[in-house]
A and B are shown apart, each in its own frame.
Chain A
Amino acid sequence: MATVHVNGVDLRVNRYRVGHDGGRTVVVFVHGLGIVDHSGLAFTLGMPLATDAETVLYALRGHGHSQVVPTGYRVADHVADLVALLDALGIDQPVHLVGCSYGGAVVVTAAARHAARVASLFLLDPVLPVPGWPERVLALLEPVAAHLAGGYTIEDVVAALGGVSRRKAAAAARRAERLLLGTTLLDDVRAEGPLAAGDIAGIDCPVRKAAAAARRAERLLLGTTLLDDVRAEGPLAAGDIAGIDCPVVAVYGARSEMVPQAEALVALVPHAEVRLIEGADHLSVFGRTRELGALIRQSV
C-alpha cells in the first residue's frame, strides 16, 4: 500500500499483479460513496484479477485512509484525482475502469472527458451521471446527515444488527457493557448518527464497527462539503455520454433500484452491454464475486 499525493490530496493506493509482469492490461477500480473504501473490492476482485492484469485500487478522497479534505467532492474532483493518480503511477496506456455504485458516475465522466485514458468501462450497479442522479444520492445521504446532526444513540445502531453467533454476541455484550456503562463513549458518539437503513443492513457488525462506520459517516457528511457538492451537481451532457465509444459493460443486481438507469445508459450508449445478476440487490451484488470476476475477465 502506498500513499500518493495527487491533485492536492493524499490517496491510499494498492497495486497488485500475480505471476506476470503486468503487461499492458491495467484495471482500475473506483468504489462507492460513504463509509466504504477500496479494501473490500481489493480482496474480492482486485487480488483475484491480479493473476490476469495489473489491478489498481484506491480510496476516494474523504474515504478509508485517504485524506479527508474539507472541500472538493464533485464528480469532476474525483475524475481529476483519478487522472492525476494514473499520471503519478506512470500509467499512460488506456486503462479498464471498474466503477462501483457512485464510482460509476466517476468512471463514465472520466471516459467522456478523458477518452484517450480509458480502454473500457465496467459498471457495477452504477450511479450514472444522468438527470436525477444527485437527487438519488442525496435521498440516501441527507437523512443520514440529519441523524448525525440531530443526535442518536449507539443502541439505535446496535438494534439494527442481528443474527450474530453466541461467541460474537457474548463478546459484543461484554464490549457493550464496558463501553456503554463504563466509559463516556455513549456521550462521545451521541453526535454520530445511525446510517441509512440500507447501509446498516449491509454492515452486520456489533458496536465497534457500527461506531466506526458512524464516525466515518459523520466526518465525511458533516465535516466536508460533500453534500453541498452533490447538491450542486448536474447530469453529464447527453452528448458527452453518447460520445463514449469504448466498450461498456454494466452489471446490475436484478433487484437493485439502479436498474431503471440502465435504459438511459443504453439509449445514450447503444453498444453498452447490460447484464443482470438474478437475486441480487444494490448491496448484495457486490458479494457475487465469482460471477463478477468472470464478467470483468471477459470484459477486459
Chain B
Amino acid sequence: MKSLTHNHFQKTAFIIVVTLVFATVSSGIFSRQAEAAKKDVLVVARAMDINSLDPHIAFCDTCKVVIGMMYETLIKLGADNKTILPQLARNWEVSGDGMTYTFYLDEYAVFSDGSPVESKDVKFTIERWQNLKQDSSMYAKSISKVDASDPRKVVITVSSWPSELLGQLAVPYAGIINSDVARANGAVSTADAPKKDKAEAWFMKNSVGSSPYVLESYRPDEEIRLKQNPKYWGKKPAIKRIIIKHVPEPVSQAQMLESGQVDIAMQIDADTAKTIRNKNVVIKSQPSYYFNYVALVPGATNLEVPLTPKVREAIALAIDHEGMLDVTLGGAGRVQPSVIPVEFPGGGGLPMPKQNLVKARKLLAEAGHPNGFGLLAVYPDMTSFGVSFSVVMQKVQQDLRKIGIKVKLEPVTMAVLRSRTGGTIPMTILMWAADYMGSAQYVQYFAMVPGTTWYYLASGTTNDMKELTNHREAALMEKLQKASAEEAEKLYHEFAKEMINEHVIIPIGNPNLLLTYRKNVLGMRYDIITEIPFDEISKR
C-alpha cells in the first residue's frame, strides 16, 4: 500500500543523488584544467592592501608592487639592489657640490598613449607629488626646484639630504605620469593641489605611465589586472597579462599555489611553507629588508607608570629575541639590532640585543617599580610578513611577566589604531619595509627629533614632548645635510646607536623573505622596490 507514495520519495531521492554525483564528478574532471594556464599570463596571489592607485596618494606594500609595474621612474635599481641604472633618463650628471642633478631623458621613451616623455611631465609629476603632501611625498622633500625649460633634460635642485636623491627617485611613487592626460582628468600640480585635484577616482581605473603594463581593471577586495602596453618603448616582456588575486590568508595562497591556480604566492609565511609538499613549487628563502618592531609611547595618556628611559630600557632588556624568532618565524629570520637593516649604510656592526632579566629587574627597582606595573598594548590584529602580531604580543607578554610587568592586550583593526594615535596607546607593534636602498628613510621616520613621524606618535597628545627630543640625533641630522656618502655612513651608524639606546622603537625580527612560486616560472628574484620584477619574468 505504501509502495506508490514510496516511489515519490524514492524517485526524488534518486534524482537528487544522481545530480549531486554528476556535479562533483564533472567538477573533478574540469578542475584539472585549472592547471593549464597560458604561458604569457601570470597569476599572483596576494593579500591586497591597496589604499589608492594614484601614484602620489598611494602608500602601501601592494601599491609599491602595482604602481611600480604601471609607471616608470627616471632611474632604477639593478639586480643587486644597489647599482643605479638608467630608465627614463639615459644618463645623468651631478654637480660638484652635489646640489644639482641633470637628467637627460631617453628620446625613445613614450607614454602608453604614444606621446613622448618630456621634462614637463617630470616637473608636473614631482610638483604634484610634493604638493599633494601624501605619505610618499617625504621622498621628494629634498627637491627644491625642477627646471623643465629643455624638453629633453630635467634639472633638479635639492636643498638637503643630497646623497640619497637617486635612491629616492627610484621609488615607485616617483613614477613619471603623462601630464597632459592627467591634467585633462582633473590632476593639478600646483600648491593648491590638495583642494583642487580631482584625479584620484580616475586613477583608480586608468594608468598613464610609460611602463610595459597598463591598468586593465581593478576590483577592490578581488583582483587587479594589468595588461601589456602595446606602445611600450623598450624590450617587450614575456608576460602579457598579470592578474593579482586578493587572497587574504597565507594558507589559501599556499593551496592555490600547490593546485596550480596561481603561479606566484607573495605572502606565504615560514610555517605554511613547511606544509607545501608539491614538487612543482619552488621555495627560496633569503634575507629581507623589512622588519617588525615594538614601539613604546612615552606620551600616552593612559600610562600606569611613566615610561622613563630606565623603564624603557628594562622593557627592552626583558625581551627574548631568539625565542621571539623561534615562536614567530620558526627561526626563519634574523635578529635586527636597530631600525636600519644590517646591509644598509650604518646598519652593520651594531651590538646585538640580549635578554638580561637581572639587569631589567634592577632597572625597574631603581626606577621605583620593584614589583612591576600594568601596561596596555594596543596593536593591529594582523599578520605582517608572515608574522602574526598577536603571537608576537603574547610572547612579549610572557617575557615581561618575568620582570613583573603585566601586559594587557588590546588588538584592534588598523583603522582603530590610527584613530587612537594622539594619546591612548602605551605600546604597540608595527612594521617597516624599505622603500629604497638608503638609510635616510629610517631617520626621517624614526628619529626622536621634532618633525619625524615617530616623534609625533611617541609624544602622544602633546605632539611635542620636550624630554623625548634627542638632541644628539638632531645634531646628527644637521651634519647629514652636508655629508658625503662615506661620512653619511658613519653618521647613520651613530644614529642607529642612538636609536637603540632610546628604547622607544625596539625591532623584534627581520623575517626572511620567502619566494614561493611554481617551478615553471623563470626570472624570479627579490627587488627592493617592486618586490618582484614582473617584466623580467617568463614561463616555461
A binds B: no
Name A's B-contacting residues (CB within 8 A): none
